[in-house]
C-alpha cells in the first residue's frame, strides 16, 4: 500500500494537471477528412506533404488500450508507460549492471525519477506519456512539441550526419531520413542516467535509439522503437506503440516547477 501510494504520488506529480487537458481550447483542426455523417474519418488516407512524403504533423495522444495501471486522476496509463518491455517475452534483456540499477530504482520507490524531479524524461518514455504532443513536419526538420513541461525535441531531416562526439543530453541528438513511407530516426548522445520508462529501466550514454515512424492512415501513428544499449542490455530490443490523432484542440501549458511541493517528500525507503 505504501509503495502503491508512492507510485501514485509520483505519477500524480507529473500527471495530475494533464488528464483534464483540452478543456478550453476548442478550435477546429483544418482539413479533417470526414465521413458522410460529418464525423472525422480517422481511417482516411494518410495526408502527404507537397514532396509526396507522409505528413506526420498533428496532435497525438498515446493509445491507452491494453495499458496497465492508473494515473493519479484515474485514467488508464498507456501500455509502455510503466514498463517499456511489457511486450517482450521474458521482459527486457537487462545486463547485470542494468538489472541492479533497475532494482535499486524500484527499491528506492523511484525517488530519483526524473519525472518526479521536474526533469525531462527522455524520448522513449515521452512516447507513452499521457500528455499530448504535436508533431510539426517541415522541410529538413521535424519538431515535436510536448505538452509535458512545454518542452520540444528536434529531429534533423536535412541529411546531416550524427555528431561524432555529441554533448550528452536528455533527448540526445536525432537525425532522420525517409525509407519509403517510414521516417527512420537515429538518436545518440544520451546522458548516462536516463529512465526509459516509469519503473526505471535504464538508458545510458552508450545507447543508439532507432525510431520508425509510420502514419498508416489519417488517425494513427505507429512508432517502432529499437534500443541498442550494450551497457544496460545484453541484446538490442524492439517494441511498438501507437498514438492517435487528437482533433479540434491544442496543447496546454504544463509547468512542473510551478508551486512544486512534493519533492521534499520523496525520500525512498
Site membership for another protein, residue 176 (CB under 8 A): no
- Cβ-based neighbours of 164, under 8 Å, separated by 6 or more: none
Angle, vertex CA 227, rays to CA 165 and CA 162, nearest 5: 25
Site membership for another protein, residue 152 (CB under 8 A): yes
Q: Which span sits near another protein by CB under 8 A: 10-18, 94-102, 124-132, 250-258?
A: 250-258
Q: Which residue has the cell 520508425?
A: 212
Q: Which residue has the cell 541492479?
A: 100
Tell which residue, 123, 105, 122, has the closest CA to residue 113: 105
- Cβ-based neighbours of 96, under 8 Å, separated by 6 or more: none
Residue 82 or 157: the one with the smaller Cβ distance to another protein is 157
Judged by CB under 8 A, which of 1, 24, 36, 37 binds another protein?
24
Site membership for another protein, residue 150 (CB under 8 A): yes
Each residue 83-122 as x (binds another protein by CB under 8 A) or -, in order, gives ----------------------------------xxxx--
Rounded Cα gap, residues 38 and 59, in angstroms:
20
The distance of closest approach from Cβ of residue 245 to another protein in the complex, given in angstroms and rounded to an integer, is 17
The distance of closest approach from Cβ of residue 221 to another protein in the complex, given in angstroms and rounded to an integer, is 19
Cell of 261: 511541493
DSSP symbols for 191-216: -SSEESSTT--EE-TT-EEEEEEEEE
Q: Which span sits near another protein by CB under 8 A: 94-102, 157-165, 222-230, 231-239?
A: 157-165
Tell which residue, 153, 166, 236, 235, has the closest CA to residue 205: 166
Site membership for another protein, residue 226 (CB under 8 A): no
Residue 112 or 222: the one with the smaller Cβ distance to another protein is 112
Site membership for another protein, residue 179 (CB under 8 A): no
Cell of 48: 502527404
Site membership for another protein, residue 252 (CB under 8 A): yes
Give the residues lining the site for another protein (CB under 8 A). Answer: 24-25, 27, 30, 117-120, 136, 138, 140-141, 143, 145, 149-152, 154, 158, 160, 163, 165-167, 169-171, 250-253, 255, 257-258
Amino acid at each position: 500500500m505504501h509503495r502503491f501510494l508512492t507510485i501514485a504520488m509520483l505519477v500524480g506529480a507529473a500527471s495530475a494537471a494533464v488528464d483534464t487537458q483540452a478543456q478550453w481550447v476548442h478550435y477546429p483542426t483544418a482539413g479533417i477528412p470526414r465521413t458522410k455523417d460529418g464525423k472525422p474519418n480517422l481511417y482516411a488516407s494518410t495526408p502527404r506533404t507537397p514532396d509526396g512524403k507522409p505528413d506526420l504533423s498533428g496532435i497525438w495522444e498515446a493509445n491507452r488500450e491494453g495499458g496497465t495501471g492508473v494515473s493519479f486522476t484515474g485514467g488508464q496509463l498507456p501500455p509502455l508507460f510503466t514498463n517499456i518491455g511489457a511486450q517482450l517475452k521474458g521482459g527486457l534483456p537487462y545486463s547485470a549492471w542494468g538489472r541492479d540499477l533497475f532494482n535499486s530504482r524500484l527499491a528506492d520507490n523511484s525517488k530519483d525519477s526524473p519525472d518526479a524531479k521536474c526533469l525531462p524524461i527522455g524520448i522513449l518514455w515521452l512516447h507513452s506519456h499521457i500528455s499530448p504532443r504535436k508533431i510539426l513536419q517541415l522541410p529538413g526538420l521535424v519538431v515535436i512539441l510536448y505538452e509535458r513541461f512545454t518542452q520540444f525535441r528536434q529531429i534533423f531531416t536535412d541529411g546531416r550526419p550524427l555528431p561524432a562526439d555529441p554533448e550528452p543530453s536528455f533527448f540526445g541528438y536525432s537525425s532522420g531520413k525517409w525509407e519509403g513511407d517510414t521516417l527512420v530516426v537515429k538518436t545518440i548522445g544520451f546522458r548516462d542516467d536516463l529512465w526509459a520508462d516509469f519503473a526505471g529501466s535504464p538508458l545510458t550514454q552508450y545507447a543508439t535509439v532507432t525510431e520508425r515512424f509510420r502514419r498508416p492512415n489519417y488517425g494513427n501513428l505507429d512508432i517502432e522503437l529499437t534500443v541498442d544499449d550494450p551497457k544496460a542490455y545484453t541484446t538490442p530490443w524492439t517494441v511498438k506503440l501507437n498514438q492517435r490523432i487528437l482533433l479540434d484542440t491544442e496543447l496546454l501549458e504544463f509547468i512542473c516547477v510551478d508551486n512544486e511541493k512534493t519533492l521534499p517528500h520523496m525520500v525512498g525507503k
